Structure 1
Amino acid sequence: MRKTFYLMVFLIVGILGNLSAQMTLFKGTFDEAIKKAREEKKDLFVDFCAEWCGPCKAMASEVFTQPEIGEYFNSRFVCVQVDVDAKENKDIVKKYNVEALPTMVFISREGKEMRRVRGGVPADALIKEAKIAAGDELSFEQLYDKYKKKKNDFDIQQQLLLEAPMFIPTQVGYDQQKWGARIESLFPEYLKNKKIENMANGADFLILTLYHRGTSKEDPIFDCIANNFDKFAEGVQKDAPGDGKETPTGRDRVAHYLISMNNSYIIQLCKRGDINYKKRLARVNGDLKNAYAGISFGSLSVLDAITLLADATYGLYRHDENTFFEKMNVYFAGKGEATELADYTQPLQDLATVYEGKMSENAYGKCIDWIAKALTYEMVVPTRVRLLMMMGDCLKNTGETAKAKQSYNQAFIASAGIENKAEMKQLQQMIQQSLQGL
């Protein structure tokens, strides 16, 4: 009997614990919420919402229900939802200048606005805004003022650089330009004073990925990371969050950073017709060998695969169709079963860009095989529609009018599954124009 009683208590406590581990929304009017806030010596968190607002519902079901939200907000705020369409809330909506949804406003118990959040945001961003409103953290503006007084404080500089990508998009017009210019000048200053060799840690590596996204022939930052790959990988791994979630290893993150920049630079050189791309390729088996070590291209070596792609791109941008198709087909054959959808869609997109839809009949014919193979993969509906449209174009330009019409019709049918109605309408109009042109 006693065991049963304890079990019941345990279950009840567990249920109550789960219910409390989310934001508690006050069931009453705005004025009643203000009164409650004064009585409990708290401030208000007001979620201005509407029944028709999808993002508002997403915030309520996906963010407000998270335990960390409940833990912070319930202890510091009286939280209330205000329906902007309700007549009784008309004056409140006007007073707090709510013009778009979602809008969430932190309001003092005296009724004064302290901070505002526009649009849907993840839980960590909302908690940060709440901490700023509650005075537990400095706002970005306050942090920058602190930096101006302590310009040699690396911690403040680091925090500004990490928070800027979230803060600057919230600004508009001149303010956005102003803050963008300030942070743009802060990064090289931080880099110069702290020095790249001292940035082998999680926070600083994130800063590098945010503000140093491209490389060139002379790039001390890229070279230092490449030559100290293990040091950076270990430093980034050491600072990885230990929350049990699946996250890329430090080695994976550093490798991806170096590979993406190196590959992008090689492609840039190829597009410009700069034969020096071959010298850059040599680094794949040189100082970048550790970075590329985890990549597989079927039966192809990493260097052979990237060389084929580079040579194909170089040929394409010189309008050398034969070289382009030859190199790409060798690449597809070598990669074999490891070939992915993007392996086909990227060169097809490049072809469309370079030739602006005016390829030779031979090129259109060769694309048909690639598109057919691409369509065997799973993909989002808009991609499938565009591939079917491209197939129709290729068949049309090789004289296969009946098959082209069939492909366009398949594209039109598939387009009905596109969730974005504006995109669906635009693609359907393009398909109809193609059908009329047969």
Structure 2
Amino acid sequence: MLVKKFLILILCCLGTLTSRAEGINFFNGNLQDALKKAKSENKLVFVDFMATWCGPCKTLATKVFPDKEIGDYFNARFVCVQIDVDKEKDLARKYRIQAMPTLVFMDNNGKAVTRVTGAASKTRLLQKAKEATGELPSFDELWNMHKKNKNDVNVMQQILHEAPYIIQERRGQGWEARVKKIFEQYMQTKPREDLLNPTDFTIIMGYSEMEKNNEHVEFVISHLNDYLKIMPFRRVANPMFSYTMSLINKLAKENDLDYKKEIARADGDMKVIFDSLRHSTYSPVEFLTILGDAYNALYGHKDQATYVQLIDNYLTRTGDNVMLQEYQSFISDLLAATKGDLSDDAARTVLKWLNAYLTLGQKAGEQLQPQNLFWYYLTSGDCLVTLKEITKAKEAYTQAYMLSMQSGNPNLQAQVKQKLDAINEK
């Protein structure tokens, strides 16, 4: 949870689109030739392990690699080369490429120095490049510095900024617990007046436990205007929206009626933030109240009928302005909370929502992604089984099975086959 929350905060912006001529000049050749060129020019090597079908690879190619600052830094210090993993499978295995994109910084003998997985932001990519050149310390070097001087807040800040990536890369090695202690020590050591900067805002919002009256988050809320003076509005607002809405949902699910107090803050000490939350139909407080009451009914009182009624009213009133993700979220929450044991009325309503989801996804000639269509057919099949409409359920599951075959994912195939076998036995 810590990793996911923190990464969302610091990967929210991927730079601006600029001319390709100003960005990275990729070497037109293979890795061996790139290594030779790097040796002759006394440079390092930067390798973008990518695939033509990879969405995040395209994001990097259009929004990060063309950036002038990125280009100036990389072109001066690296020979940069792109490797299509579908064409260079042996190289992908050699460098343990398991996800795309994977960006590997190498010395000119081909030894990996450091790497980044995923669509890194401009800031993240520059930081890793500077680690590769030795301009910035690596995480392990920072950790050793911390062990020598445990009260150095600058080192702690750098560790906390880098740690989510390390936790993700080194799962199961106890790093999350170690970093949590660093955060607690950091917040005890650093003077509060020195926390009014963008990096510490991100650290506080990334590491703070989601709980009522969290002292660190309360510090941020009490200094919202100060942060807004030194940071772009959305960089402050989006994490605050995410934290507050998640806290409201958490309290509502736990049947803690203090979720209503958190909602009221949207018109109180957090008004400067929530006033920018535009909804086609509802005020911020009305919107948060609907969601809070719905989740309180579903999880706090096991009352799926009230949840369905509240959400259905919301979807009906919002009309064409409902987002695809909202349908998925509302349906998935209902199925998770009830473990798929829907009433007939709830199943019928979910089928209505699913049809609206499909219509919205195909609006203006757009097509839903295969994974979304798979979810649509599988969930439709589950609802139809509840309603004992077995023939229609088989048709829906068959569509889902065909999509699972196209995905090549054996787990999805087994999941649907199990459902088909179960209804064939009836």
Structures share fold, TM-score greater than 0.5: yes
**Could you list the per-position Cα deviations for residues 98-135 of structure 1 after superposition, in whole angstroms to 9, with x for gaps in the alignment?**
46247956347xx6958354867757656545543433
Deviates further, 405-414 or 117-126 = 117-126
- Separation of aligned partners in 2, 1:347 and 1:21: 43
CA distance in 1, matches of 2:310, 2:53: 48
Q: Which residue of 2 aligns with 1:159?
A: 158
1:182-205 superposed Cα distances (whole Å, 9 cap, x missing partner): 432222222223344542322221
Q: Matches of residues 149-188 of structure 1 in structure 2 within 5 Å?
A: 149-171=148-170, 174=173, 177=174, 179-188=175-184
**Consecutive unaligned residues in structure 1, runs of 5 or more:** 1-16, 85-89, 238-249
- Which residue of 1 is the match for residue 223 of structure 2? 228
Larger Rg: 1
The Cα shift of 1:402 comes to: 3.7
Does structure 1 residue 206 correspond to structure 2 residue 202? yes
- SS at 1:281 equivalent: helix
- Of 263, 288, 292, the residue aligned with 1:281 is 263
The CA distance in 2 between the partners of 1:54 and 1:373, in whole Å, is 29
Paired letter, 1:373: A
The question of whether the paired residues in 2 share the 8 Å contact of 1:46 and 1:104 is answered with yes
Whether the aligned pair in 2 keeps the contact of 1:44 and 1:80 (CA below 8 Å) is no
Aligned to 1:350: 333
Residue 294 (1) aligns with residue 276 (2):
yes
Match in the other structure for 1:247: none
Alignment correspondent of 1:33: 36
Question: Could you say if the C-alpha distance between residues 196 and 387 of structure 1 is closer, same or farther in structure 2, counting changes exceeding 3 Å?
Answer: farther
Name which structure has the greater RCO, CA cutoff 8 Å, separation 6+. 2
- Verify the 8 A CA contact 1:22 1:69 in the aligned structure 2: no
Q: Describe the shift of the 1:27–1:70 C-alpha distance in structure 2 as closer, same or farther (beyond 3 A).
A: farther
Paired with 2:279 and 2:78, the residues of 1 have a C-alpha distance of 55
Q: Which residue of 2 aligns with 1:146?
A: 145
Question: Deviations along 1:16-75, whole A, 9 cap, x unmatched?
Answer: x959952447889689939x83x66x265386989x9999xx69x949887666654554
Give CA-to-partner distance per residue, 1:77-98, whole Å, 9 cap, x none: 67789999xxxxx9xx9xxx94
Could you tell me how far 1:180 is from its partner in structure 2?
A: 3.8
Cα deviation, residue 357, structure 1: 2.0
The answer on whether the counterparts of 1:389 and 1:431 sit within 8 Å (CA) in structure 2 is no
Residue pair 2:196, 2:227 contacting (<8 A) in 1 also: yes
Q: Return closer, same or farther for 1:364/1:113 CA change in 2, 3 Å cut-off.
A: closer
CA distance in 2 between partners of 1:326 and 1:121 (Å): 40
Please name the residue that 1:215 is paired with. 210
**Alpha-carbon distance in 1 for matches of 2:132, 2:417:** 49
1:47-62 superposed matches below 5 A: 62=61
Residue matched to 1:383: 372
Q: Distance in 2 between matches of 1:351 and 1:388?
A: 17
Matches of 1:330 and 1:32, distance apart in 2: 62
2:349 maps to 1:366: yes
Distance 1:107 1:116 in 2: 10
**Cα RMSD for the two superposed structures:** 4.3
Which one-letter code corresponds to 1:261 in the other structure? Y
Equivalent-residue separation in structure 2 for 1:304 and 1:48 (angstroms)? 47
Please give the per-residue CA displacement for 1:181-235, whole angstroms capped at 9, x wherever unaligned. Answer: 44322222222233445423222212223222x4322212222222332221222
> 1:45 is matched with which residue?
45
Cα distance in 1 for partners of 2:291, 2:23 equals: 55
Note closer, same or farther for the CA distance 1:132–1:220 as it changes in structure 2 (3 Å cut). closer
- What CA distance in whole angstroms lies between the structure 2 residues aligned with 1:382 and 1:331? 26
Shift of 1:372: 1.6
Q: Can you list the C-alpha shifts for 1:363-412, whole angstroms capped at 9, x where unaligned?
A: 22222222221221224222222222222222332243343344334434
User: Distance between the aligned counterparts of 1:384 and 1:282, measured in 2?
Assistant: 38
Is 1:321 the counterpart of 2:304 in the alignment? yes
Distance in 2, Cα, partners of 1:20 & 1:345 = 38
Question: What secondary structure sits across from 1:218 in the alignment?
Answer: coil
Partner of 1:433: 421
Q: 1:401 is matched with which residue?
A: 390
Q: Which amino acid aligns with 2:397?
A: Y
Q: In structure 2, how many angstroms separate the alpha carbons of the residues matched to 1:76 and 1:256?
A: 35
Whole-angstrom distance in 2 between the partners of 1:83 and 1:354 = 42
Residue identity (%): 27
Is the contact made by 2:378 and 2:416 (CA closer than 8 Å) also made in structure 1?
A: no
- The answer to whether the 8 Å contact 1:299/1:335 transfers is yes
Name the SS of the counterpart of 1:377 in structure 2: helix
- Once residues 292 and 30 of structure 2 are traced to their aligned partners in structure 1, the CA distance between those partners, rounded to angstroms, is 63
**In 1: Cα distance, 2:261 partner to 2:34 partner:** 71
Q: Contact 2:277–2:284 at 8 Å: present in 1 too?
A: yes
- Measure the CA separation in 1 of the matches of 2:35 and 2:349: 71
Residue 393 of structure 1 contacts residue 404 of structure 1 at CA under 8 Å; is this kept in 2? Answer: yes
Asked if 1:258 corresponds to 2:258, the answer is: no
Aligned AA for 1:227? S
Do the aligned residues in 1 keep the contact of 2:46 with 2:104 (CA within 8 Å)? yes
Quick one: which amino acid aligns to residue 228 of structure 2?
Answer: A
How many Å separate the matches in 1 of 2:317 and 2:267?
19
- Contact 2:390–2:423 (Cα < 8 Å) also in 1: no
With over 3 angstroms needed to count, the CA separation of the structure-2 counterparts of 1:385 and 1:224, relative to structure 1, is: same
List gaps (5 residues or longer) in structure 2: 1-19, 362-367
Write the letter of the residue equivalent to 1:436.
N
Q: How does 1:109-124 map to 2 (within 5 A)?
A: 115-117=113-115, 122=120
* Secondary structure of the corresponding residue to residue 300 of structure 1: coil
Counterpart contact for 1:49–1:83, Cα < 8 Å: yes
Shift of residue 328 of structure 1? 1.7
Matched, 1:191 2:187: yes
> Residues 375 and 435 of structure 1: is their aligned pair in 2 closer, same or farther, counting only changes over 3 Å?
farther
- Give the counterpart letter for 2:306 in structure 1: T
